[in-house]
Structure 1
Amino acid sequence: MTGKPAKEDAIDPSVIVDYTLPIADPFVLYHGGKYYAYGTRVNGFEVYISKDLKQWKRNDIKALSPENSWGTRWYWAPEVYYVKSKNLFYMFYSVDEHICVATAISPEGPFVQSIKKPIVENEKGIDTSLFIDDDGTAYLYYVRFTSGNVIWVAEMNDDLQSIKTETLTKCISVESPWEKIQGTIAEGPSLLKRGSTYYLIYSANHYESQDYAVGYATSSSPKGPWKKYTGNPILRRDKPAASGLVGTGHGAPFICADGSYKYIYHAHGSTTSVGPRTSYINDFNFSENGTISISGEAIKPVVVK
């Protein structure tokens, strides 16, 4: 028996303006019945909006424009969170290899830095990811250039604009063979909590490597120590979920409308060219014993009028 897609599931080719979601280092926020996707592509950040994860519309204005931000180049890896206690949306991102945060009253933006300076002024860093624990403590995970790209965490101050530098703790550095194929790079952190277990999802290798890949580690504390999953990597070009894609990584898990998780990530433009990097979405699962897997047929988003 062969299944046929419902008519309402078919995408009219006349409305498609791009057969890919043209962002790298992607992140998705589900809020108010819509999905918002942000990523690396231009100076500042665009936002793409969808109701079904398949068809996306690019918003007419940038979510973050350079004039509303410190820095002038290398706008990378934005992540956006709604913080209920403050009734604001927070965008954490990298610009000119420093970490920054901007706020808005809408997930569409415009996001604005109230004080135009990096979160950490005297040190380079990239790839920020926010986690607020059940007790209200906020943690910022990000990459510091300490013997390669290394993932660290620090507690944030209540303003969510600055970190408590005395709490900086190293989380993940390159150790395993799968992480060492190209470069000394652990990056793109995301933090989830299930029950009493903390999961730190990350990518390793240089993003230009076809073996760019995703793994994770677990801990009983948001600061670690972290135990890497013995079955890493969970996403790489040789895994079924990659479906022939190469350079798969630097993504983020997100909660869908039905409460399930999916994972958005980027891949190389082709097997012969790194760019333009584009984004794909797969299922993100927890087994009964707490093991994470990325599986299923990839959603290949399109941008429509």
Structure 2
Amino acid sequence: MFRKILLCLALTAAGSIFAQNNPIFKGWYADPEGIVFDNQYWVFPTYSAPYNKQVFFDAFSSPDLVHWTKHEKVLDSSAVKWAHRAMWAPSIIKQNGKYFFFFGANDIQNNEQEGGIGVAVANKPGGPYKDYLGKPLIDKFYNGAQPIDQFAFRDADGKVYLIYGGWGHCNIAKLKDDFTGFDKFDDGDTFKEITPKGYVEGPFMFIRNGKYYFMWSEGGWTGPDYCVAYAIADSPLGPWKRIGKILQQDPKIATGAGHHSVIKVPNKDEYYIVYHRRPLGETDANSRETCIERMYFDKDGFIKPVTITNEGVKANPLKK
């Protein structure tokens, strides 16, 4: 009997260890973009460090959301001559058989400084990526939006939009099919502001059941009020009326939960939210780690509040 008790205790302990899947990989990483390419889950995060050390991006791939492989320096500043610090918030999309990697660089504070939003290209998701244009794609402030936190969104008709912006303003622009610039909207505008109430940074958009879900981060990225909120509309242009928060810190688990993305499992109505947070006891603003939770909807299509956990998610292999 004593041996059976010991065995049960050992199995319980082992189960507890293996259940701790958050963070999903080691190291300080933030602003994660999750996406599926070629039957693999991918996460492309910001390397979380002082701005002058943020000169490269690592990526991570997984067959099942639990076991992750690190791909080191899929893009770094040696391949982007105009980028020299604060390389942030990647967004990756496949177009015309190639993979395009949008990123912010240099944390520009005005229109005279060099930097903004760039784009790199590679033949496979894990890179290596090279600068596509030799200059920023967006290097100015439009509608008050700092050119950071870009997200490449593919609409149902295949058209790709770039949604971006810091400093409390969010813009949307229609990318040319070759991603060398932008097409104008019918009214002649290139950059349209779609800022909802409470928006700070970190935009993300997806479509479910014909509805457009627009999500963003609120609060200060170094503080306990950092969180994710959302709105729903019938068009990528809105209008967007804030519905409420769906992701925020839990003082028993972690603080500063925000700047997320969403992974949809192909051919299934299953969604995961990928986000960063700060472990309890960490006071350094850059001590951020990447985590994943399931994201659910109610019968009316509203997103249910997400519970942040140490357990994370169970394995969900992508079958070939």
Whether TM-score is above 0.5 comes out as yes
Structure 1, residues 134-173: CA drift from partner, whole Å, max 9, x if none? Answer: 22222110005xxx32111111112123223623221125
Closer/same/farther in 2, CA of residues 21 and 292 from structure 1, 3 Å limit: farther
Q: Distance in 2 between matches of 1:129 and 1:282?
A: 20
Q: Corresponding residue for 1:37?
A: 43
Equivalent residues in 2 for 1:116-155, closer than 5 Å: 116-123=134-141, 124-144=146-166, 148-155=167-174
Deviation at 1:54, TM superposition (A): 2.2
Closer/same/farther in 2, CA of residues 107 and 186 from structure 1, 3 Å limit: same
Greater radius of gyration (CA): 2
Alignment counterpart, residue 81 of structure 1, candidates 80, 90, 93: 93
Q: Distance in 2 between matches of 1:272 and 1:122?
A: 35
Equivalent residues in 2 for 1:15-54, closer than 5 Å: 20=26, 22-41=28-47, 42-54=54-66
Q: Corresponding residue for 1:236?
A: 248
Q: Corresponding residue for 1:14?
A: none
Q: Distance in 1 between matches of 2:293 and 2:193?
A: 29
Q: Distance in 1 between matches of 2:170 and 2:89?
A: 14
Identical-residue share of aligned pairs (%): 26
Deviation at 1:22, TM superposition (A): 2.8
| Structure 2 residue 286 is matched with structure 1 residue 275 | yes
Q: Distance in 2 between matches of 1:105 and 1:19?
A: 25
Q: Corresponding residue for 2:295?
A: 284
Gaps of 5+ in 2: 1-7, 19-23, 48-53, 108-115, 314-320
Q: Corresponding residue for 2:194?
A: 171
| Structure 2 residue 73 is matched with structure 1 residue 55 | no
CA RMSD of aligned residues (A): 2.8
2:246·2:306 contact (CA, 8 Å) conserved in 1?
Answer: no
Q: Distance in 1 between matches of 2:158 and 2:35?
A: 20
| Structure 2 residue 107 is matched with structure 1 residue 93 | no
Q: Corresponding residue for 1:295?
A: 306
Q: Distance in 1 between matches of 2:264 and 2:288?
A: 23
Q: Distance in 2 between matches of 1:65 and 1:31?
A: 21
Deviation at 1:221, TM superposition (A): 1.0
Q: Distance in 1 between matches of 2:274 and 2:123?
A: 24
Deviation at 1:46, TM superposition (A): 0.6
Gaps of 5+ in 1: 12-17, 180-184
Structure 1, residues 247-299: CA drift from partner, whole Å, max 9, x if none? Answer: 00001001236732101100114344133100110111222211012535455
| Structure 2 residue 205 is matched with structure 1 residue 191 | yes
Q: Could you state the TM-score of these two structures normalised by the residue count of structure 1?
A: 0.81
Q: Distance in 1 between matches of 2:73 and 2:123?
A: 14
Q: Corresponding residue for 2:228?
A: 214
Q: Distance in 2 between matches of 1:248 and 1:46?
A: 21
2:104·2:149 contact (CA, 8 Å) conserved in 1?
Answer: yes
Closer/same/farther in 2, CA of residues 40 and 194 from structure 1, 3 Å limit: same
Closer/same/farther in 2, CA of residues 68 and 133 from structure 1, 3 Å limit: same
Q: Distance in 1 between matches of 2:42 and 2:195?
A: 28
1:76·1:95 contact (CA, 8 Å) conserved in 2?
Answer: yes
Structure 1, residues 183-232: CA drift from partner, whole Å, max 9, x if none? Answer: xx611111111233111011011100111000001111111111111xx2
Q: Corresponding residue for 1:266?
A: 276
> One-letter code of the match for 1:128?
Q
Q: Distance in 1 between matches of 2:305 and 2:70?
A: 27
Closer/same/farther in 2, CA of residues 244 and 298 from structure 1, 3 Å limit: closer
Instruction: State the SS of the aligned residue for 1:139.
Output: strand
Q: Distance in 1 between matches of 2:63 and 2:16?
A: 12
Closer/same/farther in 2, CA of residues 104 and 195 from structure 1, 3 Å limit: same
> One-letter code of the match for 1:26?
P
Larger CA deviation: 97-106 vs 114-123: 114-123
Q: Could you state the TM-score of these two structures normalised by the residue count of structure 2?
A: 0.77
> One-letter code of the match for 1:121?
D
